[in-house]
Structure 1
Amino acid sequence: MRKNLHRRGRPPFGKAYSFAIITFALFLLSWIGQFVTQLIEVSNNAEEHGQVFTWADFVPQFLSATFENWQSEFLQLVWQAMGLAMLFYWGSSQSREGDDRLEAKVDALLRERGIDVEAIDAAIVDDVSGRSKDRDPAAESTR
C-alpha cells in the first residue's frame, strides 16, 4: 500500500520533509552547542568566584538566553515570512501580476510568429487532464 501512495504523487516521508528534518537537526545541534558552551561558562564563572556550580542557577540562565535568542531571531524571521506572504497575497509586483505579464508577452510573441495560442492552451489542458498524449500543440498550430 505504501508504494501505491508514492505512485499517486506523494513522495516518501524523508524526501517530503527533508527540509524540515535538516532544519530541526541544525536547530538541535545549535541548541546543544549553546547548552554546552553556556554550561562551561557558568561553571568556570562559579569556580572563579569560589562558588559551587548548581543546576538551579544554571537552568534559568540557559532558558533566559534561549528565549532572548528566539525572541530576536524568530520575531525577525516571522515578520519576514509573514510580510512576504501578505505582499504576495495582496498582489505586489513580484507576485502573480508578474506571471500574468510574462504570459502575455509569450502569447504576443507566439501570435507574432503565426502560432495559435488557443490551440496550445487547449493541448496543455488536455495533457494535464490526461485526455491526449499524442497531440503536439506546435504541429497543430501550424496546420
Structure 2
Amino acid sequence: MKTNQKSPSYLKRKAYFWVTLLLFLASIALHWYFGWKDYLNEQMAHSQPAEVPEYAVQMMRETMENWQSEFLQLIWQVVGLSFLWYCGSPQSKEGDDRREEKLDFIIKHLEPGKADELLEQWKIKYPDK
C-alpha cells in the first residue's frame, strides 16, 4: 500500500527551523544596526570618535544581558520540557496512554470484527517506544 507521493523537501521538513533562524538573524542584525546608530549619536554628543572595538564590546554586553534575562529562561523551559517529554517522564506518558486507550475503545466499537487485526497491524507498524 505504497503511494508515489514525494516526501517533502529538506527545506519544507525543516521550515520551522529555517523561519526561526531567519527571524533570529534579522533581530540580531537589527539590534546591532540600531545599537550602532545610538552609539554614533552618543559619541557625537560627547565629541568622541566612534571606535568599532568599543562598540563591539558594548553591544556584546547588551546582547548577553538580553540573552541572560529573556532567552535563556525561555530556552531552558522549552528544551527542558522537550527533553523530559522525549525521555518519557510519567507526566508526558500519562496523556498518551489515556489517548491510546480511548482510540482502541473507539476502533473496537466501530470495527468489532476487524479491530484486533487492525490494532495488531498498527502495533507492528508503530511499535511502542
TM-score interval for Structure 1 and Structure 2 normalised by the shorter chain: 0.7 to 0.9
Q: Tell me which residue corresponds to 2:65.
A: 68
Unaligned runs of 5+ in 2: none
Cα distance change, pair 98–49 in 1 and its aligned pair in 2 (3 A): same
Q: Tell me which residue corresponds to 2:44.
A: 47
**Correspondence list, 1:1-143, <5 A:** 9=7, 11-88=8-85, 89-92=88-91, 95-111=92-108, 115-116=112-113, 117-124=115-122, 128=125
The alignment's TM-score, normalised by the length of structure 2, stands at 0.73
The alignment's TM-score, normalised by the length of structure 1, stands at 0.67
Q: Tell me which residue corresponds to 1:132.
A: none
Unaligned runs of 5+ in 1: 1-5, 130-143
The Cα shift of 1:15 comes to 1.1
**Inter-partner Cα distance in structure 1 for 2:111 and 2:56:** 73
SS at match of 1:121: helix
The Cα shift of 1:108 comes to 3.5
Higher relative contact order (CA 8 A, sep 6+): 1
* Counterpart residue type for residue 102 of structure 1: R
The Cα shift of 1:37 comes to 0.8
The Cα shift of 1:120 comes to 2.5
- How high is the sequence identity, in percent, across the aligned residues? 30
Larger displacement relative to structure 2 (102-111 or 31-40): 102-111
SS at match of 1:51: coil
**Inter-partner Cα distance in structure 2 for 1:26 and 1:109:** 43
Give the alignment's Cα RMSD to 1 decimal: 2.7
The Cα shift of 1:110 comes to 4.9
The Cα shift of 1:44 comes to 0.5
